[in-house]
Amino acid sequence: MNETFLFDALREATDEEMQRDPSVFILGEDVGHYGGSYKVTKDLHAKYGDLRVLDTPIAENSFMGMAIGSAMTGLRPIVEGMNMSFLLLAFNQISNNAGMLRYTSGGNFKIPLVIRGPGGVGRQLGAEHSQRLEAYFQAIPGLKIVACSTPYNAKGLLKSAIRDDNPVILFEHVLLYNSKQDIPATEYFVALDKAELVKIGNDVTIVTYSRMRHHVMEAVNYLINDGYDPEVLDLISLKPIDLDSIVKSLRKTHKLIIVEECMKTGGIAAEIIAQINDNYFDLLDAHIVRLSSQDIPTPYNGNLEKATVINPQQIIDSVKLLLA
């Protein structure tokens, strides 16, 4: 086991897959000589050359189209978004091309494409750099969407995504790059369609993902001291949602809280609530609690920014109120 930063875990995954398969390459803004905006691709251009670690112009729609075209012809591109907010400029390519071409070509083309990069609410990055795009892309057919939360699942998810023959979006939270964890020195993979059972419990099921996993676990440590016993699931897969794991937990706890950094309107929690109400309503002993960000552009002001995002105290209060 080696103690590894999350950004280094992603770099290790990229390096290992590029070394194994010459069809894997990286493209994006400043991924080459600069090493990526959060150093995920640091020094890779020196090892693999400028054509496999390709610096692109600031033109997201153009280099996303190039990546999709290269995937159609047999390469396995990894697109780094300098900030995932900028990928809205490539929304047409991701939705109408990456998500649909395997279907509209009658299966004649595969799109083994990985789109990854930093997102989420940082520390005073302003509204345009604090987007949470998971709900935007969740409605697009043909995509797989995952969100890493630890160095361990970051590396395993990226390796699995690179080897998948479908387009995969990997969301990385900007505030988790410097998180550390012991990860295996030997090769491993994390499934793209399974939630992770973080903590076993009996009182209430808490479903979360990405940075909110850490807020939830901070809250859970306080709750345990007060005699509560929550069960915690890290979704990891946002499309498809691992409903089976949620339902398995609900059959035991019969109460559900969903904690997300996504916007409340049309968010990931909204989709989970709809699916539970449609198919497993009888398992519930109480209404589902949804803890989501405020439906406003994220303020630049630090105190106002904090007020828009769920914090551990709100999770503690919600659990106690639900179990009262």
Please write the tens of the pLDDT for every residue from 223-268.
Answer: 999 999 999 999 999 999 999 999 999 999 999 999 999 999 999 9
60 is catalytic: yes
Phi, psi (rounded to 5 degrees) for 70: -70, -35
Which of the listed residues 183, 215, 234 is the one where a domain comes to its end? Answer: 183
Q: Which amino acid is at 191?
A: A
Tell me the per-residue pLDDT of 157-209, one tens digit each, with 9 for 90 and over. Answer: 999 999 999 999 999 999 999 999 999 999 999 999 999 999 999 999 999 99
15/152 same-domain check = yes
30/153 same-domain check = yes
Q: How far apart are CA 151 and CA 13, in angstroms?
A: 11
Parent domain of 295: 196-322
Instruction: Give percent above pLDDT 90 in the chain.
Output: 98
Give SS3 for 97.
Answer: helix
176/240 same-domain check = no
Question: Which residue out of 12, 60, 80, 260 is catalytically annotated?
Answer: 60
245/141 same-domain check = no
224/177 same-domain check = no
18/111 same-domain check = yes
pLDDT at 91: 95
Flag whether 40 is in a domain: yes
98/219 same-domain check = no
Query: Residue 16 in contact with residue 158, Cβ under 8 Å?
Result: no
Flag whether 57 is in a domain: yes
39/111 same-domain check = yes
Report the CATH number at residue 29. Answer: 3.40.50.970
Which of the listed residues 183, 213, 233 is the one where a domain comes to its end? Answer: 183
Query: Residue 210 in contact with residue 157, Cβ under 8 Å?
Result: no
pLDDT at 239: 97
> Domains in the chain: how many in total?
2
Name residue, tokens 């591109």: 77
Flag whether 188 is in a domain: no
Query: Residue 259 in contact with residue 209, Cβ under 8 Å?
Result: no
pLDDT at 324: 92
128 is catalytic: no
Question: Which residue out of 17, 45, 129, 261 is catalytically annotated?
Answer: 129
